[in-house]
Amino acid sequence: MESGHARLQTHTENGIWISFSATPDSTPHRVPAPLILEVNGVRSEGRYERADFKDGALLCEGTLRSLNGTRFVFSDRYRAGSPGGFELSREVLVSEANPDDISFNSAYRVRIAAEFQKQEYFVPAVWYRTNFAPRIAGALASDPDDQVFLFREDRLPLPLVAARDVQTGSTLSMVHTAADPATFEGDAGLERVVDERMQFGSLGVDRRGDLALMFLFPGSEGEKNRTSGSPNQGWSLRSHPVRTGVAHRYALSLKASSTSSYAAAVEQTWKAGFASYQPKIRPVDVTAAFQGLLETLHQYAVLPRDGYDAPGFPFSVLLPDGQVRAYNYQSGFIGRQIPNAFFLIHEGLAQGRNDWLEKGEAIVDFWARESLLPDGFPRTWYDPSRKPGGRGTWRTSDNRHGGTALRTAATGMEGLLSAWETLQKHQQPREAWLLACRSFGDWLVANQNEDGSFHLAYEHALTDGKHRATHPSKATTANPIRYLTQLHRVTSDRRYLDAAVRAGEFCWREVHQNYFYAGSVIDNPVTIDRESGQEALAAFLALRDATHDPRWLEAAVQAARFTETWMIAYEIPPVNHETKGFPSDKSLIGQTLIATGQSSADLGLAFSSVDFYRLFLFTGDDHFLQVARLLIHNTKQALNWDGTLYPGKARGLQMEAFLVSMPRRRGVMECLSWNFAAHLDPLVRLKDRFGSIDLDTVEQLPLAKKRALNE
């Protein structure tokens, strides 16, 4: 059987088995034991007994018996798929069950003719390249000594796995194309669970004997697992009951190919899985959502006349009652005080809302006036006082590593610079604001490392005239790049662009070429994470805009391809009606996992919707347009934009984060300031560049006009 240049062949040696290869003369990937069972924890293997080619499909059948005599009938159908791929549809039926057999799993395993350490692996949101250097705390794929790496598909954005030979480029991928990962409340704990209601599989890499990609049904997880969201050494075993008539049915897409790079293998595999599931857009009224978010910011913002010594937004609002948990102010990252104030200024001017403008200006003015130390280094977290005549206090740390993280500083100061620029366009200059922005830009120029990098975070106190780095990592060097390019654009000071390009060159070497996006989730240990992909995407796009060097667009495209692999792109059903988490009647498609080493997801990829749209215009790849639409609409599934989720409460409220795997959808019933910014930031950028917050309206413009505006 042929599919493009690929070929699937049958072999008859003590039974029938198959192999498939990227081309007729390439090294084949063997399936020497197509039939695999685990019954009562005991594994057995076998080959087909019959194979017939009929109506364009290869039909294969075989049986296995347990030690107690239960008969399991396998019926497999192979068809040519997209060029280079083959589709397997399988049924495993229990017949003649022996009551001494309690539990069983079935599996499919494709051999990789190479060594484990010479492969680069891809499991979305879990495993990128090796994950082993440096080891990622709490990650499921972090120990090169493990023999099995199997991951429940209901914790994955798409159920797929791929491996690429570093030396030859030979790439093998496996996608579960018919997943409907249902389960029940009893699917918890580390003891083996036996129940037919569990309909999820697991995918990964098996090193026992020969190296292979593997699919297991139902989905046990090991040698490490994150059952109930916590990291555990060992197995979390899930099986079905051995009972006459119980059946396994699943479909796998198998592809052997040659790819030019690891990035190409990720793109090819992800797009194949994405095409299999065709994730649906869940449309919302974007204008209503936009207005609801702005009204919510206005509702919760306080001024000194409200009893606080400094203006700002609450750090957290409790759900579902909408009560404020705490008023404390973080300039950027999850606090987003200054960017949120910028949105009120931007739309206060646009919509004639002086009440929005008053609050926005007061908040930005506070940060411009009070936050910077004498050398331009910013403090980023303020606890206001409610005592008459009292003064609040500045925290000395905004992250787990101590000091000020450059990500917090840069995202906050971007908001300040944008606020200055908006008022400047309306002939309302705020020279003190620009002076503050330049002061931080000067600090960045003066404190950039010789290799172009910046450290993750720095102490507030001076040591020998310098702010000492509190963490040696340079992985987050992308964080201040967009700010520096923006500062150059408004000042024409070449020093800022030179610093941005030097930082970009460092990121090209260490992030882009190494495919290592890590560290931007600053409230985690330094780990591979989605937000580092978003930060790299924004940085490389900013450099492309500032220099028109096509290298930066290439790097932005790769960062986007990495970043979207964290987005849930197939339906993962709820377990029951969840009242303390993501709504059970809403789709998870468009939400995104956060970092390796955890099982949490949020709406944070919404920030990048306009970046994906711009990449569509740059490249002509319709896939980027589809992702942009998903990020504009689907990320608002848990937003109270129409007032139905939290009746009578502000329409900008939404939960901050939740678990994807068990306990499914349980989450943080609080709305944080960054949640508002995640939706508003890309819509304001879309409006400023293309004239509308409505992507459908923008899309009606002539292509030449859209591309001109994109420049």
pLDDT in tens, 415-443: 999 999 999 999 999 999 999 999 999 99
pLDDT at 229 over 70: no
**Average pLDDT score over residue span 142-154:** 93
Residues 379-403: b if buried by 16+ CB within 10 A, e if exposed:
bbbbebeeeeeeebeeeebbbebbb
- The string of pLDDT tens digits covering residues 314-326 is 999 999 999 999 9
List of residues 6+ apart from 696 with CB closer than 8 A: none
- Residue 489: partners with Cβ closer than 8 Å, 6 or more residues away: 546
CA dihedral (175, 180, 185, 187) positive or negative: negative
pLDDT above 70 (res 133):
no
Over the stretch 580-636, which tens digit does the pLDDT of each residue have? 899 999 999 999 999 987 789 999 999 999 999 999 999 999 999 999 999 999 999
Count of Cβ atoms closer than 10 Å to residue 53 Cβ: 11
Q: How confident is residue 137, by pLDDT bands cut at 50, 70 and 90? A: low
Question: Per-residue pLDDT for 337 more than 70?
Answer: yes
Q: Which position has the token pair 């609050």?
A: 359
pLDDT tens digit sequence for 67-85: 999 999 999 999 999 888 9
Residues 352-410: pLDDT tens digits? 999 999 999 999 999 999 999 999 999 999 999 999 999 999 999 999 889 999 999 99
Q: Which two tokens stand for residue 507?
A: 């990121």
- Sign of the Cα pseudo-torsion (630, 636, 638, 641, in order): negative
Question: Is residue 134 very low, low, confident or very high in pLDDT (cuts 50, 70, 90)?
Answer: low
Q: What is the pLDDT of residue 524?
A: 82
pLDDT at 463: 95
Task: Using a cut of 0.75, tell me whether the model's pTM lies above it.
Answer: yes
Mean pLDDT computed over every residue of the chain: 95
pLDDT at 68 (0 to 100): 97
Domains assigned to the chain: 2-277 (2.70.98), 286-710 (1.50.10.10)
pLDDT for 227: 83
